């Protein structure tokens, strides 16, 4: 920012935000990165509350966006859901395939000491679920 003072820069940036808001193509258009970057720079020298209030932003909007390359791949959470319908395409070993009408109960011992028992699902779906879990 090449301005005489942070206060002047904030006013100029507020005008740029007003111009963008008046001319954006639609209601959900994202804020241009150049405007956000200027706002982040100002928040380094002025109180962030003053910057977000004057520019009509939230504190979260001034947080840097993680880039796809720099963000590590998220490990599966303990509550991650596996859709059984999508797992039926896994190919279980031939010896594990049983007639579709047959069900097998499955009991899992979880890390925190609780147990989880799955019943009523066809064996092929349980095999597919286990295969998917073990491949992670």
Residue 71 in any domain: the answer is no
Q: Tokens 């990165």, residue?
A: 33
Residue 78 in any domain: the answer is no
- Residue count of the chain: 136
Q: Which residues of 79-101 are buried (b: 16+ CB within 10 A; e: fewer)?
A: eeeeebeebeeeebeeeeeeeee
Task: Answer yes or no: do 90 and 127 share one domain.
Answer: yes
Residue 122 in any domain: the answer is yes
Task: Answer yes or no: do 12 and 53 share one domain.
Answer: yes
The answer to whether 103 and 123 are in contact (CB under 8 A) is yes
Task: Answer yes or no: do 54 and 95 share one domain.
Answer: no
pLDDT at 10 over 90: yes
pTM over 0.95: no
Residues 6+ apart with CB under 8 A from 36: 61, 62
Give the residue from 51, 61, 56 showing the smallest Cα distance to 30. 61
Task: Answer yes or no: do 58 and 89 share one domain.
Answer: no
Task: Taking residues 100-109, report their average pLDDT.
Answer: 69
Task: Answer yes or no: do 88 and 120 share one domain.
Answer: yes
Residue 88: pLDDT band (50, 70, 90) is: very low
- Which domain covers residue 56, as residue numbers? 6-62
Residue 1 in any domain: the answer is no
3-state helix, strand, coil in the chain (%, to 5): 45, 5, 45
| Residue-wise pLDDT tens digits, 55-85 | 999 988 888 776 655 555 555 555 555 555 5
Residue 124 in any domain: the answer is yes
Query: Which stretches of the chain are DSSP H helices?
Result: 6-23, 33-45, 48-55, 84-87, 123-135
Residue 74 in any domain: the answer is no
Residue 67 in any domain: the answer is no
The C-alpha R_g of the chain, in whole angstroms, comes to 27
**Residue 128: other Cβ atoms inside 10 A:** 23
Residue 68 in any domain: the answer is no
Q: Report the domain count for the chain.
A: 2
């Amino acid at each position: 920012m090449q301005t005489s003072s942070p206060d002047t820069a904030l006013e100029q940036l507020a005008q740029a935000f007003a111009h963008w808001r008046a001319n954006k193509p639609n209601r959900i258009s994202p804020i241009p990165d150049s405007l956000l970057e200027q706002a982040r720079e100002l928040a380094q020298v002025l109180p962030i509350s003053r910057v977000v209030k004057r520019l009509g932003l939230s504190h979260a909007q001034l947080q840097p966006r993680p880039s796809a390359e720099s963000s590590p791949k998220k490990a599966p959470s303990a509550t991650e859901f596996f859709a059984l319908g999508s797992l039926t395409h896994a190919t279980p070993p031939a010896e594990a395939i049983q007639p579709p009408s047959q069900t097998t109960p499955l009991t899992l011992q979880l890390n925190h000491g609780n147990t989880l028992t799955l019943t009523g699902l066809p064996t092929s779906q349980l095999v597919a679920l286990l295969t998917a879990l073990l491949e992670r």
